[in-house]
Amino acid sequence: MMKWLIVNSPIESRISNDIMSFLVSHQIDTMRFECSGEQSGCINDIYGTLQEITHIILLLNEAAEYQSVIQYISGYTAGRDIPLYIVGKTGASVPWNLQCAVICPDPEVLKEKLENNFDYFLAVDEQRRAHKKLYDQGIPLTSDCLASFVTAGDIDTASMFLTAGISVNARDSDGTPMLCVAARAEQTDMINLFITKGADIDAVSSDRGYSAVMDAVWKSRYEMVKILVDAGANLNFVSRDGQTALVLAVGAGNEPICELLSTHGADVNMKDRMGMSALDYAKLFKKENLVSLFTAAKG
């Protein structure tokens, strides 16, 4: 949960109040501290509020009277990887190389930047926090590591990977897209997650040359196949070995999946590398129900 702290000098009280009102209007828990008087006292007072703070806005000019406070807060945010929004100029005695700092030339610009880009700042912060949470658990942000959690069905951790910035179309070291990894592991919830997050429904694996719907057919999982069909998967894609999803379904003898595919646009006459179609295989294997189904689809 986010908790913001605004530290301002007396002359920035108005804009500090404006920023606080903006944050509160977005349901952000916000504290405000006005820095006046002796600096060591200010630092002691601020220190008592910092333990739960997730973001700091620093509205102090660069006069000598505020340098100790500026240096202290800058160092604290750097050490704790806390986002810092600060007013200042390049070349001042503030550590402007802070990776977590957003620097603006004056308070009005900072206020405008927050208001116009707040959703973006929140998204970036959510990504940063997810990455840190994985790091703190000793989990590397790699596609192979994500694949292991996908295979295990750990949807919470897989979601955290996506939030932390790894692509929904990431592939493992064998070149298998995460959607295919989920299909091969028979993880229906993972398939739904990746589709919701915008995964390429027709991404093809480097090993078998299968798309996710072909992997789902190969596993004879009707529910997974239907999810992918409903999401718009290409049902007439030809794999590296020259097969379509419908030919795979015929080979597996899975009539419900054959019906699902053939009634949603799968071509019953598309030939594989052997010159055989799904209809041809149904006739060859004497699967009369499929022959009737495919003949009707053909007509």
Helices (H), 63-154: 67-80, 107-136, 143-152
Identify the pLDDT of residue 41: 65
Nearest-angstrom CA–CA distance, 165 and 99: 17
Beta pairing, strands 55-59 & 3-8? parallel
* Higher-pLDDT residue of 72, 264: 264
189-241 tens-digit pLDDT: 999 999 999 999 999 999 989 999 999 999 999 999 999 999 999 999 999 88
- pLDDT bin (cut points 50, 70, 90) of residue 90 is very low
Mean pLDDT within 77-88 = 82
CA angle 22, 82, 34 (to 5 degrees): 55
- pLDDT bin (cut points 50, 70, 90) of residue 38 is low
CB 70 within 8 A of CB 60: yes
φ/ψ (deg, to 5) at 177: -60, 150
Helices (H), 170-277: 178-184, 188-196, 212-218, 222-230, 245-252, 255-262
Determine the 3-state secondary structure of 31 from DSSP.
Answer: strand
- pLDDT exceeds cutoff 60 at 66: yes
Determine the 3-state secondary structure of 29 from DSSP.
Answer: strand
Determine the 3-state secondary structure of 172 from DSSP.
Answer: coil
Q: What is the mean pLDDT of the chain?
A: 89
φ/ψ (deg, to 5) at 55: -145, 145
Q: Which of 80-89, 161-170, 205-214, 218-227 has the lowest mean pLDDT?
A: 80-89
Full set of structural domains in the chain with CATH: 3-135 (3.40.50.2300)
Nearest-angstrom CA–CA distance, 81 and 221: 45
CB 104 within 8 A of CB 113: yes
- pLDDT exceeds cutoff 50 at 93: no
- pLDDT exceeds cutoff 60 at 89: no
Nearest-angstrom CA–CA distance, 147 and 158: 8
